Amino acid sequence: MVPIEHVTALSAALFTIGVIGVLVRRNLIVILMSVELMLNAVNLAFVGFNRVWAGTTEQPLLDGHVFVLMVITVAAAEVAVGLGIVIALVRNRDSVNIEDVSILRW
Amino acid sequence: MTVESVLFYAFAGLSLLSALAMVGFVRNVVAGAMSLVVTMISLAGIYVLLEAHLVAVIQIMVYAGAILVLFLFVIMLLNLRSDDFGPVRPWQGVLKVVGAAVALGIFVVLLGVLPDTLPEVAELPEGFGGFRVIGVSLFTDYVVPVEVAGFLLLAAIVGAVILAKRSID
């Protein structure tokens, strides 16, 4: 079995790549995909920790897996609404560049 | 090295590489989306190695099957070819370096926070990560969150339809 520290390190690395994508890229769709990547990194940490604290046969602990299912549900909802906003934005501004929607930015 | 660890490190490298490619493919958004599919599928492989079989199946069905298809569908619908946004401000490059540095700082903090040594489980409970155990858990301990998730999905469907409609009647 792989040490769980390596799983959590991989999770941290993937989360970092997601943060870089959100901070560095200017394409709204790529930013949404980077957010998905960060959610996946968190899911990986949940599954890894649940592998360590798995409980007993009488009382298995599956909270990590259930949390992952919830996160996936929220991610699906987020993508549906986010891409709806992207479509509305392209219809109004004809662009997916976040520099074009900076009115609320200081 | 056992087969398990070889597979784990192969999947881990593949997911890291494809995630970097997703962030790095500046010219082609579709290529970025396809790289994200590779990340999701390698993560599903890692979930199988961590005995999370149901989560691995859901990961492939929902992420690689539904969410990424939605992304590709929108990219195709909007006919986005490249990310080549016109003139950039002169200090844009500096800002990108600052952003990447902040993210790497977050990585260092994360690695510092993560525990160094974790207990190793000798044996797993019977049926761990399978449909039956998680299903029982979902419909007993977690029945309220499941219902709330259902409402969330309904709200998201309605919201997405309203947002993407051409005009609200």
pLDDT tens-place string over residues A73-100: 999 999 999 999 898 888 888 888 887 8
pLDDT for position B126: 77
A92 touches chain B (CB under 8 A): no
Give the domain CATH number at A8. 1.10.287.3510
Least confident of A13-17, A71-75, B100-104: B100-104
Q: CB distance B16–A62 less than 8 Å?
A: no
Q: What is the span of the domain harbouring residue A39?
A: 4-104
List beta partners, residue B107: none
pLDDT for position B82: 58
Q: What is the ipTM of this complex?
A: 0.91
Which residues does chain B have within 8 Å of residue A74's beta carbon, measured at their own beta carbons? 149, 152
Q: Exposed, middle or buried, B6 (CB in 10 Å: 0-12/13-18/19+)?
A: exposed
Residue A91 to residue A87: CA distance in whole angstroms? 6
Q: CB distance A33–B22 less than 8 Å?
A: yes
- Taking residues B122-146, report their average pLDDT: 85
How much is the pTM?
A: 0.90
B89-98 per-position pLDDT tens digit: 677 778 888 8
Q: Please count the residues of chain B.
A: 169
- Tally of structural domains, chain A: 1
